[in-house]
Structure 1
Amino acid sequence: MTSEEGQRGRFITLEGGEGAGKSTQAQLLQQWLGSRGVQVVRTREPGGSPDAEAMRRLLLGGRAAPFGPAAEALLFAVARADHVAVTIAPALRAGQWVVCDRFMDSTRAYQGSSQVSGQELDRLERIAVGDLRPDLTLILDLPASEGLRRAGERRQPADRFERDSLTVHEARRAAFLAIAAAEPTRCAVIDASLTPEEVARAIVSQVSSRLGAMLPEPA
């Protein structure tokens, strides 16, 4: 590892369907990393920068849905490009670790399972993130029916994506698992049907085994 690579922060993303517990686990992971002496920026998509947060309201409110999944994918890419430029890339350059609730894999799972071609998504990804890739992606896996039940208990009214049919949510789950199978070096699948404490322990185990050498030495 070069000196420049050693100074760069690490980028961890949490992915998965609705109700999988990504936001909770991102917060718990931030706390655990902080206890190890890591400076952490916790962020989310869509959102994570002022302009991207404005686009989040548009996307989750369903205002882009009438234009179709390709248009939604384009808007996600615009929001992501700003998020990377304003929040993620500067934090990584400063040596901070970034924990992000959703990133590029969500576009591949959500819009990719809605008939947006892989070629189109590849082009948008290159524009939005360039060569940036997460160092570790934790895919929180949960049966779609259980995820929707949890999401319904957590928030009302449902957002634009939560309102989709169970069949659509099952296709998204399958897409996330296919991404994990295709990129096992980057991705780890976490059983999100466990308790939050058990999920957090599984996540810490993955982070420790895959990125532990990059954590600061104990004081």
Structure 2
Amino acid sequence: MLNKIRKSHPQKSTPKKLAFTFLALLAGFGLAILTELFSGMSARVLPQWLESVNIRNLFATLMPWALGTLIISLFSRTPIRAAINVFTFSCGLILGCCVYLGVFVHILPDWSHLSYIVILTAISPLIAAVCWYGRGVGTVAGFVAAFILAYWFLQAFHFTPTFQGFGVNFTYGVLPLVFLAAAIGMLWRKPLQILFSTIGGFLIAYIYILLPFSIPYV
């Protein structure tokens, strides 16, 4: 039944599987180092065009992790490989953060900051396996893609119950809009399906704002 949503294409070569998993680990490690470097940089050190998009504050959020997770999930050959590679990617992120802070800053990681990554790492295999089907075809894939896009709509736009304050969220510059456009491009399968997913993602984001209780999202 799941193959009707998106058909798996397992990689038969074990060395290639290990190579991709190792690359995911390196990508997570590199992202963590980059995040810590940006967070410690002065605004005067960065080029003007990077400072104009508020890249230092953006790397302090989980958006880069979310984008990396989405890329690895969608372009893995099977949902199992997506789960393994995303989990490895997230572990690399934790490892990179601990190594940078321990070796270069000589302090222990702030648990209040790291705990979010640890929790997300624990559930990341499930997230990845579900996201993998977002690049499939049919109604189920369309709904999965809509929930993925809802996250990026919440990052890129201000939502208010009455739409009076609706508009682009420039807190982190234009990069959330770029990430939203990238997500739409990666999830594109059929014109009508991506239109359904985009409209659905927008509506899900709006419904989230209308909820009488708060469900945390990152």
Q: Quick check: TM above 0.5?
A: no
User: Greater strand share, 1 or 2?
Assistant: 1
Higher helix fraction: Structure 1 or Structure 2? 2
**TM-score, normalising length: structure 1:** 0.29
Structure ranking higher on relative contact order (CA contacts 8 Å, 6+ apart): 1
Q: TM-score, normalised by structure 2?
A: 0.30
